[in-house]
Amino acid sequence: MNEAPLRVDARGERLRLLHVHAHPDDESSKGAATTARYVAEGVEVMVATCTGGERGSILNPNMDRPDVLANIAEIRRQEMDAARHILGIEQVWLGFVDSGLPEGDPLPPLPPGSFATLDVDEASIPLVQVIRRLRPHVMTTYDERGGYPHPDHVMCHRISVAAYDHAADPDWHPELGPVWQTPKLYYSFAFHLAKTEALDAAMTARGLESPYAERLRRWPPDPAMQDRVTTRVPCGDYFEVRDRALLAHATQIDPEGSWFQIPMDLQLEVWPTEDFELARTTVETHLPEDDLFTGVADRAPTR
């Protein structure tokens, strides 16, 4: 039997990737095909999940039941376990409490003690511990807007950037372990304007109803957000794994919903990558990239 392929750095160490996400299910909806590709290439992948998703809504009508609502925290942990096995990753809970998505005008205050209300430096401590223990070559998180304006996603960005810096500072909580400078930090872009427009146009050209038409009509013009993608990772061969991981989060993912309305062959033809912005790097690279480990990996996968 062939051994699994292995990607290594210049020292011959196995490559390591750390994704930081706000809630269980985010690891499957943002960059999951990239994750599955790197796992298949022998990369060690860890997901740090900030909160338990306790205040998430039930988005799958089939799961909108009193028994689920009464046990939502435990059910979401079980869903995360199932998705973790599908993706082939390790996963750690950072232990924060979901802030919920406030609604109304004016917006109500966030629940006291919830993740997004905490001091950023204090909240970064468990993530610094993860970084110093794992010693990742690459970290990913969300951009400064959280990818979308959920307070926990914005907070996830803030503690990720803080932890990226603190983990490399020998004077910052030395009891958390030996310092580690992560070579590269990326922001993931699950759905950006160019991708959404391309998929929408392709659906229309086929005479199919696009699930993105209304979203595009409401998309705010924002030139500052255009052309931020620096790195497109080819991962279409792993879209099916991504979808299985998504479906494992049954409380959050409606199998009849918009996630699954784009035919797979159209996705592979129009946008077979997942996209990222290189936010920080300590290694030399050349943009655009097609690999998060450009400048870090010593060689491609071998058997």
The tokens of 135 are what? 């010693």
Please classify residue 52 by burial: count the beta carbons closer than 10 Å to its beta carbon, then call 0-12 exposed, 13-18 middle and 19+ buried: buried
**Separation between Cα atoms, residue 92 and residue 110, nearest integer Å:** 25
**Separation between Cα atoms, residue 210 and residue 266, nearest integer Å:** 12
Cβ-contact 44, 7 below 8 angstroms:
no
Q: What is the DSSP letter of 132?
A: H
Binding residues: 23, 26, 153
Phi, psi of 215 (to 5 degrees): -60, -40
The tokens of 110 are what? 């966030």
Side chain identity, residue 196: T
Q: Which one, of 175, 176, 173, 95, lies nearest residue 132 by Cα?
A: 176
Strand duo 6-9 + 90-96: pairing: unpaired
Q: What is the DSSP letter of 289?
A: B
Encode 135-160: b = buried (16+ Cβ within 10 Å), e = exposed. bbbbbbbbbeebbeebbbbbbbbbbb
Give the number of other CB atoms < 10 A from CB of residue 127: 26
Binding residues for Zn(2+): 23, 26, 153
**Separation between Cα atoms, residue 34 and residue 37, nearest integer Å:** 5
Cβ-contact 181, 168 below 8 angstroms:
yes
**Separation between Cα atoms, residue 21 and residue 24, nearest integer Å:** 8
